[in-house]
Amino acid sequence: MNNLRAAVNHVLLKIIVCLVIIVFILTGMGNYFTGSVRNYAAKVNGQVIERVQVEHVLQSEQQRMAQEMGEKFFLSPGYDSHMKQMRQQVLSLLIDNVLLAQYAKKLGLSASDQQVKNVIRKIPFFKKEGQFDNAKYLAFLARMGYTADDFAQSMRQKLINEQVTQAFREAVFLLPYESQTMSELLFQQRYVRLATIDVREVQAKLNIRDNEIQDYYQENKNSFISPEKIKVRYISIDALSMQEKVEVSDADIRAYYDQHKINYTQPERKNYSVIQLTTETEANAVLSELKKGEDFATIAKEKSTDITSRFNGGKLGWLEQGATTNEIKNANLTKKNQLSSVVKSSGGYLIVRLNDIEPKNIRPLVDVYGSIAKQVRQDKALDSYYELQQKVREAATSDNESLTLVEEVAGVKSTQTDWFTRDSIPPALDYQPVAQSIFDGSLIGENDAPGSNSDLISVDGNRAFVVRVVSYQQKGMDPFEQAKDRVAEVLKHNKSLEKAKLQGEQLLVELKKGNGEERMKVAGLSFGSVKKMVRSSVDNPLVEKVFSLPHPQGSEPVYGLTQDRHGNVILIALDIVKPGSVSVEEMESFISKMEQNAASNTLFYLLDSLRKDAKIKLGSAEKN
């Protein structure tokens, strides 16, 4: 982290920070900041995450799942809940990425154009016969609806965020003593013998009298209440399905292109190299060498104090006017291969060379036609969706006695459910606003008869429902005769658990006194053969209990008592504890994994802290 803070003063990092900000605004990603406030998914410290970002990832997930499962994916019972959960995960990840990006900006971290280019060219998916294939790259961009600048910006931010995570990985280390102690503890082996009191056997021997069942029912009536049940008829509309009906003309695409031309404009860029030196005297001496014909890159590698750029022969790469620092602007370079005089900077003294100039360039419509068509289709579908929402809302209010008018306006037939409770809501309706509207009583008339239609209920930002109650049953207590068998089963189970636990506790006391095994024989119990146990990540109460027992002293075992997931009571005799041991190769892997876990935990707590300090506001659609 000290290295990160020190790096902030390097001239290259200052330049690239400016570059990232300008590129992010001027490229196709700019619409995420200037788009409609109405449709934002979240604001993170004032920075907008547009809903279209979330929708884009969700559409990619839908396409992936549809390829795996076919059309049955969209008809599967878990479709809505899967996409709802996926939406929450995507939004949470986007928020974390923005928080990391903002944190990285505070540290002064950046990624150059050349670094982004190198990363893209190394992606295996874009290679053919081991070489980068530009045709595959462009085909991917067209299929996914990216512009080249969009994709480059996403990779740039990924590189920047990875610098933060890499810093945490490099900052974590284990001392030899720590790694040895932890390996001995985590790989510890415990040798035990077990004896089980089977609850089912105890329960089979129990006899429950009718008066006990009656008494238990009277004392626990509230445990035998049937929940309220309901049947509804509903209509659903969504923006995604409306995209298929939207027509996009060449004129629409041209108009969008003309209105958003700044997103497809590459401003004038200049390619610079720089040599940074500590004193003005050193800088003047280097300038004299350059004027005599010495190679700029060679001197930069040998003498430049800017550690970031000197390995590239002083190259800074392409910079736009807005991303160029005042130090380089002050060099006043206007011609290709022009060399500056000595320029004072915050890090020392600079000599700057203008390597090349690239004039302003506007990407032609043909290059971005596909991505614009997709965006226009989405925008039109949303506009149609909002317009249909208003018509459906009015229809639901105008004809409050049925869904007939709503069906006509929406152009879809209503669907009726079977009986369900609050805990068994059909997947198609499993949204918090819908469930709240169904069960808050506002849709139920007098004497539990059907009431009015619901208002239009919007969920997930691109789907809406109108719901009408068909039938309703209030919650009520089950009569004794109806609940008798269930009461008897619960009572027998509870009594058998109590009896088994009491027997286990009594035997444990005797074992600790030294005569427990005789009592166990009387009860028909005995310890089994020795078993080796190791720690497990699985939530296992037996393992947890075994590893919570103190170490045996001498040859005397240590005894314990626990229960498994079925309620069976288990007596434990712990005989031997052996510290864990690993080979040299295994120790290297162990240390690596422990350091990775520590770095992941540190990053988790960083993000948790950033979230707590951040002002995060969800869009209205995401709150649902």
The three state secondary structure string of 299-324 is HHHHHCCCHHHHCCCCEEEEEEHHHC
Given a cut of 60, whether residue 32 has pLDDT beyond it is: no
CA dihedral 10, 12, 15, 17 (to 10 degrees): -80
Dihedral sign, Cα of residue 428, residue 434, residue 436, residue 442: negative
- Phi/psi of residue 556, each to 5°? -80, 130
The pLDDT value recorded for residue 23 is: 34
Which strand ranges, in their side-by-side order, compose the sheet holding 47-50?
Answer: 47-50, 40-44, 616-618
Q: How far is CA 615 from CA 42, 43, 53, 300, 351, in A?
A: 10, 8, 20, 44, 43
Cβ-contact 427, 79 below 8 angstroms? yes
The pLDDT value recorded for residue 35 is: 40
The pLDDT value recorded for residue 194 is: 94
- Phi/psi of residue 247, each to 5°? -105, 130
Per-chain mean pLDDT for the chain = 81
Instruction: Give pLDDT tens digits for 514-546.
Output: 888 888 888 889 999 999 998 875 668 888 899
Confidence of residue 551 (pLDDT cuts 50, 70, 90): very high
Dihedral sign, Cα of residue 146, residue 151, residue 152, residue 153: positive
Given a cut of 50, whether residue 182 has pLDDT beyond it is: yes
Region 605-622 average pLDDT:
84
Given a cut of 70, whether residue 236 has pLDDT beyond it is: yes
CA angle 319, 324, 326 (to 5 degrees): 160
Given a cut of 90, whether residue 381 has pLDDT beyond it is: no
Write the secondary structure of 402-448 as one string of H (helix), E (strand) and C (coil): CCHHHHHHHCCCCEECCCECCCCCCHHHCCHHHHHHHHCCCCECHHH
Q: Can you tell me the distance from the alpha carbon of 353 to that of 365, in angstroms, rounded to the nearest whole number?
A: 35
Confidence of residue 222 (pLDDT cuts 50, 70, 90): confident
Confidence of residue 499 (pLDDT cuts 50, 70, 90): very high
> 34-48, 106-120, 294-308, 375-389: which has the minimum mean pLDDT?
34-48
| Spans of all domains in the chain | 1-175+583-624, 189-224+480-578, 229-239+391-477
Q: Can you tell me the distance from the alpha carbon of 14 to that of 7, in angstroms, rounded to the nearest whole number?
A: 9
Confidence of residue 562 (pLDDT cuts 50, 70, 90): very high
Contacts of 491 (CB under 8 A, 6+ apart): 208, 212, 213, 216
Share of the chain above pLDDT 70, in %: 86
Q: Terminal CA-to-CA distance of the chain, rounded, Å?
A: 40
Cβ-contact 571, 508 below 8 angstroms? yes
Structure tokens at 173: 């280390």
Instruction: Give pLDDT tens digits for 408-445.
Output: 998 889 999 999 998 899 998 988 889 999 998 889 88
Q: Can you tell me the distance from the alpha carbon of 531 to that of 546, in angstroms, rounded to the nearest whole number?
A: 11
Cβ-contact 113, 356 below 8 angstroms? no
Given a cut of 60, whether residue 77 has pLDDT beyond it is: no
CA dihedral 564, 566, 568, 570 (to 10 degrees): -10
Q: Can you tell me the distance from the alpha carbon of 457 to that of 618, in angstroms, rounded to the nearest whole number?
A: 18
The pLDDT value recorded for residue 13 is: 41
Cβ-contact 242, 385 below 8 angstroms? yes
Cβ-contact 58, 86 below 8 angstroms? yes
Q: Can you tell me the distance from the alpha carbon of 370 to that of 374, in angstroms, rounded to the nearest whole number?
A: 6
Q: Given the DSSP bridges, would you call strands 131-132 and 127-128 parallel, antiparallel or unpaired?
A: antiparallel
Q: Given the DSSP bridges, would you call strands 569-578 and 338-339 parallel, antiparallel or unpaired?
A: unpaired
The pLDDT value recorded for residue 328 is: 87
The pLDDT value recorded for residue 545 is: 92
The pLDDT value recorded for residue 414 is: 92
| Nearest C-alpha neighbor of 319 from the set 106, 32, 31, 114 | 114
The pLDDT value recorded for residue 538 is: 62
Region 502-510 average pLDDT:
92
Region 30-50 average pLDDT:
65
Instruction: Give pLDDT tens digits for 325-345.
Output: 888 888 889 999 999 999 988
Given a cut of 50, whether residue 552 has pLDDT beyond it is: yes
Instruction: Give pLDDT tens digits for 340-352.
Output: 999 988 778 999 9
The pLDDT value recorded for residue 39 is: 60
Given a cut of 70, whether residue 612 has pLDDT beyond it is: yes
Confidence of residue 71 (pLDDT cuts 50, 70, 90): low
| Nearest C-alpha neighbor of 171 from the set 604, 603, 538 | 603
Find the helix or strand (DSSP H, E) in which 80 lies. Answer: helix 79-107
The pLDDT value recorded for residue 7 is: 39
For domain 1-175+583-624, say whether CATH 1.10.4030.10 is its number. yes
| Nearest C-alpha neighbor of 353 from the set 382, 318, 315 | 315
Confidence of residue 16 (pLDDT cuts 50, 70, 90): very low
Helices assigned H by DSSP within 333-403:
365-398
